[in-house]
């Protein structure tokens, strides 16, 4: 699993605001939990992308203050997808 520090550094490279980082951290935790329950989700691109979108939608519903980040939804989803698949496929649970 990716550390939040590494995720944070990657997002800073892409110049993403702190609000998005907070959102991504929360989503990352929720998605890691889903993946640990069902490892094969990583092999199903559509399933994983749908899971990311569901978590994202829930986060926006729970936190109206994040509404302005909705325009970044695709970027957030793609960043999470890339991080999750890249790190879990490396086979290093402590990445």
> What is the total count of domains within the chain?
1
Of 35, 18, 33, 20, nearest to 74 by C-alpha is 20
pLDDT of residue 32: 86
* Cα radius of gyration rounded to whole Å, the chain: 13
Q: What's the pTM value of the predicted model, to 2 decimals?
A: 0.64
28 lies in a domain? Answer: yes
What DSSP character marks residue 22?
Answer: H
15 lies in a domain? Answer: yes
53 lies in a domain? Answer: yes
Site of tokens 């939990």: 33
Asked if 94 contacts 88 with a C-beta cutoff of 8 angstroms, the reply is no
Expressed as residue numbers, the domain containing 78 is: 4-87
80/27 Cα distance (integer angstroms): 8
95 lies in a domain? Answer: no
93 lies in a domain? Answer: no
Structure tokens at 20: 């998005």
pLDDT digits (tens, 9 = 90+) for 17-33: 667 777 788 888 888 88
């Amino acid at each position: 699993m990716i550390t939040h520090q590494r995720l944070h550094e990657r997002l800073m490279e892409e110049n993403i605001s702190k609000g998005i980082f907070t959102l991504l951290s929360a989503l990352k935790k929720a998605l890691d939990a889903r993946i640990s329950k069902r490892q094969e989700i990583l092999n199903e691109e559509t399933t994983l992308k749908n899971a990311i979108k569901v978590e994202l939608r829930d986060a926006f519903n729970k936190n109206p203050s994040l509404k302005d980040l909705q325009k970044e939804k695709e970027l957030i989803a793609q960043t999470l997808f890339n991080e999750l698949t890249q790190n879990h496929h490396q086979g290093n649970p402590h990445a």
